[in-house]
Structure 1
Amino acid sequence: MKPILFAAALLAPASLAAQSLTPQETAQIDTVVADALKASGTPSASVAVVRGGRTVFAKAYGKQSERGGTADAKAPYQIASISKQFTATALQLLEDDGKLSLDDKVGQYLPGITGGDRITLRQLLAHTSGLQDYWPQDYSFKAMATPTTPQNIVDRWAKKPLDFEPGTQWQYSNTGYVVAGLIVEKVAGMPLLAFLQQRVFKPLDIRALDQDLAVGPGFPQGYGRYALGPVRVEKPAARGWLYAAGELSMSAEDLAKWDVARIDRALLPTDDWQAQETPVKLVDGTTNGYGLGVQTGTRDGRRYVEHSGEAVGFLSENIVFPDQKAAVVVLTNSWFGDATGRITDGIVKAVLPAAPASAADTAALTRARAVYDQLRTGTLDRSRLTDNANYYFTPAAQADYRSSLSALGEPTGFTQRGTMRLRGGFVLRSYRITYPDRTLSLSTFSEPGENGRFEQFLVAPVQ
């Protein structure tokens, strides 16, 4: 139930008609998912893609349960902490109704909470309350074998001394969201899920279920694994343990409907969406990018809104690029391995073209490729290197570069990995060099400027 940020690029603007997936893109997704499931041992995945502001792909793969049958894209997976943005939305809707303010203190609604006279509702949603997290582990701890209630969680964890003064630090806290859920219920006069069904899910035609009830025939089972042992069916946690911190189950396609609403600024007032996506600052003015129930940030100058989820036997990822009207949803029924991240990154790369390279990066790639070709052919132009790099490339070094690289033939790919960085007065760039049967990495440091010489040019195998 911890946010995990996955690296991603996204599409350039295009007309809506051009956003449907091509057969090649669909085939790429199929390959990405199949490869990730096979490599990790994850039994199944359900994915959805939003492009051009509409859902253009939804499909499930693999074994969803021991009962067999074809994977069903409509089957609801446990989305765990992705649920937090819905709890945040519930409090925002009650604020819109004039029934509370996110700047109200917790103690106005629930007595007995440690620091309740200082913790605001906003701090609950931003993980800056100081309330100790009741489930930091990535496994079911002993108490989770016994049913619980939100009040029991509050009594055990929200009445402990605070881990820090409210607003002074950021620390992920499921406990804070349980408190938030109880406040929703007290103010709304109905269960949290009933409130969300009425105000969010029914208007958006989303089928959302309490994950405690999404078990048995017709529902995906969760799977686990001990080290490299066999993949086993996980025993679900007893009822009541996720609640407002992660109680929802839904399909990838249904979660994509919520993403479309975010992109379109539908259902909620625009300022509510904006508030969710605005990083909350600590008292010292710093922020890690977390807003209200979602993580935010930018990559290659493009904004994303993201959250992941972890339930017993399930991992999930939901990443939205509002400005480009795109989103990727990946739900898996295992909580081991890296299938969720691999699938997310792979789908993004398959269907959302990367941001255009800067002129500086394009020029640097051309220079790097030229030096690489010189090294593999034994024709190194030393004027392209600094004094230190020339010192490094001794006759023995050149001979080894030539003999080992020339044997590989012509590369099939030569691409920059990640973004440029600065260090020690040099510009750092990394590259991936591909051949039919192997991949190499290239680490370069170069002088600033369009004709900067290379201070470092190191090739290594990718393990």
Structure 2
Amino acid sequence: MLRLLSILAIVAGLGVVALPVSQAAPAGPLTPAVIDDYLEAALDSTGLPGLSAVVTQGDRVVHAGGYGHDSGGGPVTADTPMRIASLSKSFTSTAVMILVDEGRISLDRTVSEQLPGFTAADARAAEVTVRQLLNQTSGLTDSTVDIGRLQGATSLADYVSRLDTAALATDPGTRFKYCNVNYNLAARLVEVASGQNFGTFLAQRVFGPLGMTDSAVSAENIAPAEGYNSIFGAWVSRPELPGFLEGSGSGGVITSAADLGKWLIAQNGRGPQLLSPAALATTHTPSPVDEYAMGWAPEDSDPTLLVHSGNLFTYTAFQAIDPATGYGFAVLANSAALHDDTYDIVKGLVALSRGQTPAEIGGQRQIFELVLALIALGTLGLGVLGVLRSRRWAQRCAARSWWRITLRLLPLAIPLLLFAAYPQIISAITGGRTVTWSQLTYFAAPLSIALLVAALAGASTAVLRMVRLRSVRSAG
């Protein structure tokens, strides 16, 4: 039975594992045709339902396009709005720096001085500066604030008021720790310093001057394409995960590839400028304690690039700028899974811009999900066999002592224990970020299902064995 299930899973999996794409480097300058060919091939090899992308150089858009489809079956275009998750942080830092340029916010004065209503249970929070918020070195972490309580906030002002029980993990300015709270505090600071709603400020001072007409921080203004999750190779349309603050500074921006092209040009110091050269340079400069700057960071394998990624459960995005060449790149996807293909696609575009051959991409998500499907099928089969053979097991173990029986049953409890601690394990793997059960039913759905099946198989086998053992002993 297990062999049959495995063969069926492999056959099914072959239908979702696409061949990786590799493309020869262009002979001359990067052209729209070369980019278009690469992105068409990338869509096929990754199996994404849809993506949009833009490449800029200097003050011009080299190419912007959309590929695949949205949840309604319509085509994804360069103008299709999508949530860009944590790419929003670079917009928030720019909003703060606009007000720094105008003398309305001071980077090195404390947040508490400039943001009435910000209090915390930890006295050290009064020492946190605005620069430390943007550099993610404030000491605030997911483990020292009540994330569940914050998710009930109805506005940025309400959000800040709910930080009164927060603590700091470290002294301010001594250690980097990525935490969305920093950028939601920064967004509220923009509201207080400007006297405007954060979304209105971005619309008037960032999106408007750059001509970003398909951009906002609220779905009430710009409706994003509905996203997908991959469940064992099948893309399933999913509604947005509730409980996240609209208009947030940490991940609220909705925009399109075409609009991001205008943003990337400005971030490379070309075209209309929102900031003074010194302020723009500040947003790109790492802090003294970590490489993270202000919504940007050097790419691990290529420090000449400044990058940021974003994942919001049914959306993924990645942006990069190369100040040396003036190139900018962004890829948006209306989907999220266990592997982020937008990063790989941007890296391929960067390689093409340098006359290099892109690395092969695609297949990682499909292979990972195939393995998880085989694990789920295998544990399901073992669970069925365990239940069916529970009487035979009980008869064989009837004369054994309870401690020996307990030792034999303990391995069956391991999957259940792993599943019970699943959010905490993922939180530890992701550096202490708070992960909820509802979040794990989205981009991590295949892993969650595999773990659940293994837990149920182990638990049901253990329970039936104990029931049968009691029955055999009673009969004897």
What is the TM-score normalised by the length of structure 2?
0.62
Per-residue deviation at 1:56? 0.8
More strand by share: 1
Alignment correspondent of 1:188:
194
Q: CA deviation at 1:26?
A: 2.9
Q: CA deviation at 1:215?
A: 7.0
Q: Does 1:23 align with 2:25?
A: no
1:293-442 alignment to 2 at 5 Å? 293-297=295-299, 303-336=304-337, 337-354=339-356
Aligned residue number for residue 106 of structure 1? 111
**Equivalent residue for 1:6?**
none
Structure 2 match to 1:35: 45
CA distance in structure 2 between the aligned counterparts of 1:329 and 1:51, rounded to whole angstroms: 12
1:250-298 per-residue CA deviation (whole Å, 9 max, x = no partner) reads 111211211111213533110011101111013xxxx2x1111211257
C-alpha spacing 1:324/1:26, structure 2 compared with 1 (3 Å): same
Q: How does 1:13-92 map to 2 (within 5 A)?
A: 19=29, 21=31, 23-36=33-46, 38=47, 42-65=48-71, 67-92=72-97
1:267 aligns with 2:274: yes
Pair 1:123–1:62, CA change in 2 (3 A)? same
C-alpha distance in structure 2 between counterparts of 1:342 and 1:158, whole Å: 40
Note if contact 1:80-1:242 (Cα within 8 Å) is conserved in structure 2: no
Cα offsets for 1:135-169 (capped at 9, x unmatched): 99xxxx97798673323433444631112111111
Task: State the one-letter code of the partner of 1:56.
Answer: V
Alignment match, 2:396: none
Instruction: Choose the corresponding residue for 2:248, options 243, 252, 256.
Output: 243
Matches within 5 A, 1:155-304: 155-157=161-163, 159-207=165-213, 208-213=215-220, 219-226=224-231, 231-238=236-243, 240=245, 243-265=248-270, 266-282=273-289, 287=290, 289-297=291-299, 303-304=304-305
Secondary structure at 2:94's aligned position in 1? helix
User: Counterpart amino acid of 2:220?
Assistant: L
Change (3 A) 1:204 1:89: same
| Partner-residue secondary structure (3-state), 1:82 | helix
Shift of the 307–135 alpha-carbon distance from structure 1 to 2, 3 Å rule, reads farther
1:23 alignment partner AA: A
Distance in 2 (alpha carbons) for counterparts of 1:354 and 1:99: 45
Structure 1: 5+ residue stretches without partners? 1-10, 356-463
Taking a change above 3 Å as real, the CA distance of residues 142 and 184 of structure 1, as seen in their structure-2 partners, is closer
TM-score of the pair, normalised by structure 1: 0.64
- C-alpha distance in structure 2 between counterparts of 1:158 and 1:241, whole Å: 21
**CA separation in 2, counterparts of 1:134 and 1:314?**
25
Q: Secondary structure at the match of 2:65?
A: strand
- Closer, same or farther in 2 for the Cα pair 1:22/1:100, shift >3 Å? closer
For 1:135 and 1:221, the matched residues in 2 are separated by 33
CA distance in 1, matches of 2:127, 2:317: 33
What is the distance in 1 between the residues matched to 2:208 and 2:287? 30
> In 1, distance between residues paired with 2:41 and 2:156?
42
Identity in percent: 29
Contact preservation (8 Å) 2:144, 2:168: no
Q: Report the residue type matching 2:68 in the other structure.
A: G
- SS in structure 1 of the partner of residue 165 of structure 2: coil
Determine whether 1:127 maps to 2:160: no
Tell me which amino acid in the other structure corresponds to 2:308. H
Q: In the superposition, relative to structure 1, how do residues 175 and 134 fare at CA in structure 2: closer, same or farther (>3 Å)?
A: farther
The 1:170–1:249 alpha-carbon spacing in structure 2 relative to 1, beyond 3 Å, is: same
Tell me whether 290-299 or 169-178 shows the greater mean CA deviation: 290-299
Question: CA separation of 1:92/1:53 partners in 2, compared to 1, >3 Å: closer, same or farther?
Answer: same
Q: Give the match's secondary structure for 1:274.
A: helix
Contact 1:79 1:314 in 2 (8 A): yes
Q: What residue identity is the alignment partner of 1:150? A: L
How far did 1:179 drift?
A: 0.9
Alpha-carbon separation, structure 1, partners of 2:232 and 2:269:
43
Partner letter of residue 325 of structure 1?
A: G
One-letter identity of the residue aligned with 2:248: Y
User: Does the CA contact (< 8 Å) of 1:29 and 1:350 recur in 2?
Assistant: no
* CA distance in 2: counterparts of 1:78 and 1:87, whole angstroms: 15
Superposed displacement of residue 19, structure 1? 4.5
* Conserved? CA contact 2:153–2:159, under 8 Å: no
SS in 1 for 2:309: strand
Classify the secondary structure of the residue corresponding to 1:240. coil
User: Residue 134 of structure 1: CA displacement?
Assistant: 8.1
SS in 2 for 1:264: coil
Output one character per residue of 1:98-138: Cα deviation in whole Å (capped at 9) or x when no partner. Answer: 112111101112334233420000000110001123899xx
Distance 2:322 2:268 in 1: 8
Aligned residue in 2 for 1:426: none
Quote the Cα distance in structure 2 between the aligned partners of 1:126 and 1:354.
33
With over 3 angstroms needed to count, the CA separation of the structure-2 counterparts of 1:192 and 1:25, relative to structure 1, is closer
Write the distance in 1 (CA, Å) between the matches of 2:322 and 2:165: 38
Taking a change above 3 Å as real, the CA distance of residues 162 and 144 of structure 1, as seen in their structure-2 partners, is closer
Deviation at 1:242, TM superposition (A): 5.9
Query: Does the Cα contact within 8 Å between 1:134 and 1:175 map onto a contact in 2?
Result: no
Q: Aligned partners of 1:143 and 1:334: how far apart in 2?
A: 27
- Sort the Cα spacing of 1:248 and 1:256 in 2 relative to 1 into closer, same or farther, 3 A: same
Residue of structure 2 equivalent to 1:118: 127
SS at match of 2:210: coil
Aligned equivalent of 2:17: none
SS of equivalent to 1:187: helix
> 1:222-245, CA deviations, whole angstroms, 9 ceiling, x for partnerless residues?
112456565342334246256111
What is the DSSP-based 3-state SS (H/G/I as helix, E as strand, rest coil) of the residue aligned with 2:316? strand
